[in-house]
Structure 1
Amino acid sequence: MGHSGYPKIEYRFVDHVRYLDAFLDSVLPTGEMFLVVQDWGSALGLHWAHRYSERVIGIVLMEFIRPFPTWEDVGPSKEAQGIFKAFRTPETGRKLLIEDNVFLTQILPGGIIRKLGAEEQEYYRHPFLSQSSREPVYRWPNELPISHHPPDVWDIVSNYRSWLMKTDIPKLLFYTTPGAFVTPEKARWYEMNMENVRLVDLGDGVHYLQEDHPRRIGEETADFMRALLL
């Protein structure tokens, strides 16, 4: 991913878990931490937090991954559902994601309200210029826990989601309109049903909230951390 190396692995979620665990064991083997997580970073971070909850001071959430019982739960857009279903059809998915590079050229900019500049687009695309470098980009959509598949990812995400809903670890949840995984309606449901969570409405946004609201996210996150460290 990004500017890291390209080991010969499948790039499944459980592979990333192994690498993240080894990284944290090396650089931060003890002590408390905050987690600021989004998308697949949320699945990795929340799985870690579920296993090491005694080390977690607070959690900042954006567009986080949960179990999706049906395709309708992934998002309200039939078009988006169709695209992601195509991603999970082996021959079609590999053509779209590896040969045509549609995630970097269409899905990424489609998840941001503002228009990315040429330099920003180049930065995102640079690590994935060759088809051989796009294996992780292909794998991630196929790892989404939808309708109990893949079974191992479904079980992991279901377990951390149950823990997340009831743990009293302080949580800050950013959401936007229309949102993707976390719509305004879903955010309000979390406010009513998730333990010790505070919501922040960022306004307009889809999925990559940091690209549209970096300053607000940074300021609110810093305030959240400071309050818990006092």
Structure 2
Amino acid sequence: MDFVRTPEKRFERLLDYPFEPHYLEVGGLRIHYLDEGPSDASPILMMHGEPSWSYLYRHMIPICAAAGHRVIAPDLIGFGKSDKPTAIDDYSYQQHMDWMQSFLDQLDLNNITLVCQDWGSLLGLRLAAENPDRFRAIVVGNGMLPTGDQKAPPAFKIWKNFALHSPWFPIARIINTGSFRKLGPDEMRAYDAPFPDKKYKAGARAFPRLVPMHPNDPASEANRNAWKVLERWEKPFLTTFSNGDPITRGGDAYMQKRIPGAKDQPHVTLKGGHFLQEDSPVAFARAINGLLATLS
């Protein structure tokens, strides 16, 4: 497949992003990730969603690393500093799963705490369900694992059509609109940095159409199988949803009822929009650290 690689100069002097880059190859493509904190500590895997990248976790990574945790934050293929196939059809749910499974295997991560939001949840929850022995806890904020058996909210249908058909797809403005607080110009530049022009945006445009929307979607059966695992998940499962996300609202209560490991956990509702990492990063990070403090 044809792919592009964002020039490094686009990432120079980004605000609040002092982290050392790391790379490995998955399926012939280079994936970028951050790896902060003690290398011998149990890892926190922070998975971003659409259309962001690891920059989303910039305020949370130092807080969790300072608490003694190893924090790993990959850029999904098509995002951030990772390679970007240029055709929308190069992206599928299963292809993203294969890329991330290779990432997990190559780093040989174990005793993982998953932290996920948006598409980070669609991929991360599947990873945890398909590799249960590698994971010790899950923290979900504004995310879900859809199977296509439930009706999608109207806001998502509008978003899907916009992503696929709008000639204008302003990444930073999308993230700004999905946050309570107004992003500054340097933050806007950082979110736009991975995408110099439209040929870099195929992955970002593809994600909404990959969400299972009907029971016979290509990913539906695999997601149902993942739910069978999650319905028996006894390890800690914490929800940290925000109070202002029209797309995932109510998902926290749904998972708390359906996943045994959610019982008696200190679930919190944080202030913010869809991108709660921008609105409540400190509270989000402290919730993660608080959960892990009970496991040590």
Q: TM-score, normalising length from structure 2?
A: 0.65
Which one scores higher on RCO, CA 8 angstroms, separation ≥ 6? Answer: 1
1:94-113 equivalences in 2 (<5 Å): 94=165, 96=166, 99-102=167-170, 104-113=171-180
Indicate whether 1:3 and 2:81 are aligned: yes
Asked if residue 188 in structure 1 is aligned to residue 263 in structure 2, the reply is no
Unaligned runs of 5+ in 1: none
Q: CA deviation at 1:63?
A: 1.4
Match of residue 172, structure 1, among 238, 245, 252:
238
- TM-aligned CA deviation for residue 39 of structure 1: 1.2
Which one of 274, 278, 286 corresponds to residue 207 of structure 1?
274
Identity %, equivalent residues: 24
Corresponding residue number in structure 2 for 1:28: 108
- Residue 50, structure 1, aligned to residue 136, structure 2: no
C-alpha separation in 1, matches of 2:116 and 2:160: 25
Q: CA deviation at 1:82?
A: 4.8
Partner SS state of residue 63, structure 1: coil
Contact 2:117 2:141 survives alignment (8 Å): yes
| CA distance 1:165–1:110, change in 2 (3 Å) | farther
- What is the distance in 2 between the residues matched to 1:135 and 1:27? 27
User: Whole-Å Cα distance in 1 between the matches of residues 275 and 285 of structure 2?
Assistant: 14
Select the residue among 118, 140, 149 that pairs with 2:185: 118
**Which 5+ residue runs of structure 2 have no aligned equivalent?**
1-78
Cα pair 2:172 2:191 within 8 Å, conserved? no
SS of 1:34's equivalent in the other structure is: strand
Give the TM-score of the pair, scaled to structure 1.
0.82
Residue of structure 2 equivalent to 1:19:
99
Q: Given residue 94 of structure 2, which amino acid in structure 1 is its aligned partner?
A: V
Contact 2:160–2:208 (CA under 8 A) maintained in structure 1: no
Higher helix proportion (structure 1 or 2): 1
Q: Contact 1:66 / 1:145 at 8 angstroms: preserved in 2?
A: no
Aligned counterparts of 1:129 and 1:122: Cα–Cα separation in 2: 11
